[in-house]
């Protein structure tokens, strides 16, 4: 279990660096409420991206993005709505749902994945 947590944290760190290199501001990491957790929330201009990060050591069990099925997507949307409702920032935003795959040292962010 500790290995999985460390691998997941390492993957999230790499994804955060990717977003920063692409001009995004990191708003939240591992935002939690009683219904679940959002891995990474970033913003660039009016666009807020909620990113689900999937880290794997290999592709032996398929693409990491395949693990984000419709049920997980539905949960992420609900959590994002709750996060947005709690924000006091002014101005309209466009919300986008990304999935980031980290396999080995490679990071692939699928923008507007769902």
The 3-class SS string of 52-109 reads EEEEECCCCCCCHHHHCCHHHHHHHHHHHHHHHHHCCCCCCCEEEEEEEEEECCEEEE
The DSSP H or E segment spanning 25 is: strand 25-33
pLDDT tens by residue, 28-79: 999 999 999 999 999 999 999 999 999 998 898 899 999 999 999 999 999 9
Using CA atoms of 75, 78, 79, 80 in order, give the dihedral in degrees to the nearest 10. 120
**In CATH, which of 1.10.10.920, 3.30.70.60, 3.40.50.1950, 3.40.1350.10 is domain 2-110?**
3.40.1350.10
- pLDDT bracket for residue 1 (50, 70, 90): confident
Which pLDDT does position 67 carry in this prediction? 94
């Amino acid at each position: 279990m500790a290995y999985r947590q460390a691998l997941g944290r390492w993957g999230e760190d790499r994804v955060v660096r990717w977003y920063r290199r692409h001009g995004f501001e990191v708003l939240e990491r591992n935002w939690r409420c009683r219904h679940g957790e959002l891995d990474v929330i970033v913003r660039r201009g009016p666009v807020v991206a909620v990113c689900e990060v999937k880290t794997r050591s290999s592709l032996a069990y398929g693409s990491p993005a395949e693990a984000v099925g419709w049920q997980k997507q539905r949960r992420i949307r609900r959590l994002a709505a709750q996060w947005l409702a709690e924000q006091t920032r002014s101005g309209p935003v466009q919300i986008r749902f990304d999935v980031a795959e980290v396999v080995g040292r490679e990071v692939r962010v699928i923008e507007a994945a769902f």
